[in-house]
Structure 1
Amino acid sequence: MRHSTLSVVLVVEDEPLVRMTAADELEEAGFQVLEATNADEALRVLEARSDEVQVLFTDVDMPGSMDGMALAEQVYERWPHVLLLISSGHARPHPDEIPDHGHFVPKPYIGATLVRHITEMMHTLRGP
């Protein structure tokens, strides 16, 4: 299932290979992808392009002023229309710890799982 180029995902991951692989998988599925290496960079992208971004896909463990959970909280407060997908190879947040409509996918994940999560989140939000 291909998505319109209007479906924009912001991928926030400090490991270059992991970020590039996720971006490639999402682009192959038809999403437009923006990339950031940490939360601070992600916030700058959102401040400039929040009207375009529909999904934030972030790692939990990152260098910088905040981790992915704190980033998700800020995004939820400032841009509630942005769907949240959080990932980690270490942390396993309880569903209550993830802001409102957010989801968690453990690492390592395969691209098809990532695409399925985002597709399901967008479908649930938009309805049938």
Structure 2
Amino acid sequence: MVVEDEPVIRMIAVEMLEDAGWSVVEFATADDAIAFCRRPENDFAAVITDINMPGDMDGLDLASLVVSSRPDAFVVVTSGRYQERPADLAERVRFLPKPWKAGDLLAAVTGVSGPGSR
């Protein structure tokens, strides 16, 4: 899952992950991604989310929900505003400052799990 409000950045991340063999769903807001996550029939292996997005929830809220409700899912949080890992991120969440390079994002996700059909 890629959650990013900037369409070009979201498109690049989705294309890169699909090229690496992942099936990807994408959202422009954390609100929409959280609604998706709360439906038990929706399965996913990893979440890549920006922190600052429009809506009532942000990427930190999304990361917290995923960590608490989907212990098998991997989370990468990105931000152009923060250059260091925010203190309130769960330990198993990786932080990747923007601008990231394609290889850095892929390494953050595939370093833990391989491509899947989720």
Global fold match (TM > 0.5): yes
Aligned residues: 114
**CA deviation map 1:24-78 (0-9, x unaligned):** 0111111111101111110122233665201010000101111111211111112
1:46 is aligned to 2:14: no
Q: Choose from 76, 92, 102 the match for 1:101.
A: 92
- Alignment match, 1:56: 47
Which consecutive unaligned segments of at least 5 residues does structure 2 have? none
**Normalising to structure 2: TM-score of the pair?**
0.86
C-alpha distance in structure 2 between counterparts of 1:104 and 1:89, whole Å: 11
- Alignment match, 2:101: 110
Contact 2:4–2:50 at 8 Å: present in 1 too?
A: yes
CA apart distance, 1:122: 2.0
**Normalising to structure 1: TM-score of the pair?**
0.80
C-alpha distance in structure 2 between counterparts of 1:26 and 1:68, whole Å: 19
What amino acid maps onto 1:15 in structure 2?
E
Alignment of 1:1-128 (within 5 A): 10-48=1-39, 52-94=43-85, 96-122=87-113
Q: Which protein has the bigger helix share?
A: 1
Q: Which protein has the bigger strand share?
A: 1
Bigger Cα displacement from structure 2, 19-28 vs 66-75: 66-75
C-alpha distance in structure 2 between counterparts of 1:93 and 1:52, whole Å: 30
Contact 2:76–2:96 at 8 Å: present in 1 too?
A: yes
Which consecutive unaligned segments of at least 5 residues does structure 1 have? 1-9, 124-128
Contact 1:83–1:102 at 8 Å: present in 2 too?
A: yes
CA apart distance, 1:92: 3.5
